[in-house]
Structures are given as C-alpha cells and as structure tokens.
Structure 1
Amino acid sequence: MVKKIIRAPGNLPFSKAIVHNQKYGMEISGQIGLNSEGKLDVGIEEQTKQTFQNVKDILEEVGWNFDNLIKIRIFLADMKDYGVVNEIYSTYFENDFPTRVALAVKDLPLGALIEMDCTAVGDNIKE
C-alpha cells in the first residue's frame, strides 16, 4: 500500500511524510465526537475516542481500517488538550503513524472539543 514512510524523530506519534501509489483515495470530512444518538460526548477523552470511532466506521464502509490513513488534521478547541489527545491518538496505530497536523481553533461545531478530517488511500474498496 504505502511505498515509503519517513518517520518523525524519537517517539513522536506521526510520520514526517508518506509516499504512496494507491488506486483509490478518500477524503473524510471533519468528524466530531457525536455518538450514535447524535449527542456530543462529554470531555476531551470521550470526544476523542468517539471521533476515532466515527472515522473507523467510515473507513469500514469501504473495507479499510486505520492502516489506510495517510494524513490526519486535528482541530482542538483548547491546545491544552494536546497531550491527552496525543496519548489517546497513539493507541489507534500499531506500527506506522499517518502524517499529522494539530491546531487550536476558536470554535468547533456544536461546541465540540476536537474535530478531525483525514485522508486515506488503498488499492481496493468494498462495493
């Protein structure tokens, strides 16, 4: 799937760059911590986990998983949450991390504390 991963130094949970040559690409719109009832989970930990679950659900619709992600953009309502988000984020990837950017923004939809949009690639998709 991925041709080359240029790792970030140390134990940082992202890659500096990824070179790929995939047949399919997917841009995932911004996801926040809305649960299956359409309610926003409380707290940065729960919102982060639910946001990842929402991304996972989208990937699974085409037969993909987190290994297909090559770029994640994280928007935080408060940069003080960066450490907590980083810790949770690290648990979703086994070997190689996608490239990533994390920024603080003034406001997020519905008062969310985190929003993520992602880019994924793969050679096959489930119809």
Structure 2
Amino acid sequence: MKQIIFTEKAPAAIGPYSQAVLAGNTLYMSGQIALDVAALGDVRAEAKKIMDNIGHILAEAGMNYSNIVKSSIFLKNMDDFAVINEVYGSYFTEAPPARETVQVARLPKDVNVEISVIAVN
C-alpha cells in the first residue's frame, strides 16, 4: 500500500515522479532542489530553502525532521561541504540521521545542491 504525498508548500515535481511516497510507515522523498529564483546561486540560501521544503513535505505526511533516518546530499562543488553542513545541521538538534554527501557533475536546473531523505513514522 502506497500513498502519494504532495504539498503546494514545496515545488511540484519537474518530471514524472512524486514529491514523496509513503509506503507503510516509511516516507521516501524525492530529491529536493531550490527552485526559488531568489535562492539560486547562493549555496546557503539553496540549502535552507531545500530543508524548509523537506519540512513541508514531512509535515504533509504527519512527520518532522526527527523522523528522518537517512539523507542523501548531492553537491555540484564539494568546496560547499562546510556551508551545507552548517545549514543542514541546524535542522537536527540531536540524533541526526545517517547520510552520504557526494559531488556530482551536474544537477537539475543547474542548482548547487539536491537533498533526498527517507523518514520513518
């Protein structure tokens, strides 16, 4: 049994995928990017916008950041690692989720960062 999770508080999918899918008590969230023109080009602003959008999708599924068990961060430039860590870390006061961070050649819409998460209720 799966349920599609969608909120207008986060950007709609830009392709044939859902913002998130709830399967049982596990939420699989698609990679989130900052589509806000004001945030584009500023890694800190992009990361904050992404994390806020993740929060909106989590809320739509009846969850919050504490429900995240795994994150994947994709960076255009690994030199942005410290900035991303600072922003990302501010959303987890204790027991942060498991995570990997990788540098990639290119991201959708030429953004600097994309983050996906798995959360469990």
Do both share a fold (TM > 0.5)?
A: yes
Q: Distance in 2 between matches of 1:60 and 1:40?
A: 24
Q: TM-score, normalised by structure 2?
A: 0.77
Q: How does 1:1-127 map to 2 (within 5 A)?
A: 24-35=25-36, 39=37, 41-42=39-40, 43-122=42-121
Shift of 1:87: 1.1
Q: Tell me how large the CA RMSD over aligned residues is.
A: 1.1
8 Å contact from structure 1 (residues 75, 103) kept in 2: yes
Give, in whole Å, the separation in 2 of the partners of 1:50 and 1:87.
14
Q: How many Å apart are 1:40 and its aligned residue?
A: 6.2
- Unaligned 5+ residue runs, structure 2? 1-23
**TM-score calculated relative to the size of structure 1:** 0.73
Q: Provide the rounded CA distance (Å) in 2 between the counterparts of 1:119 and 1:64.
A: 11
User: Separation in 1 of the partners of 2:38 and 2:72?
Assistant: 20
> Percent same amino acid at aligned positions?
34
* Structure 1 runs, 4 residues or longer, greater than 2 Å off: none
Greater fraction of residues in strand:
1
Mapped to 2, the partners of 1:107 and 1:121 lie a distance apart of 29
Q: For this pair of structures, how many residues does the alignment match?
A: 97
Greater relative contact order: 1 or 2 (C-alpha under 8 angstroms, separation 6 or more)? 1
Cα distance change, pair 40–28 in 1 and its aligned pair in 2 (3 A): farther
Larger Cα Rg: Structure 1 or Structure 2?
Answer: 1
Residue of structure 2 equivalent to 1:5: none
TM superposition shift of 1:28: 0.1
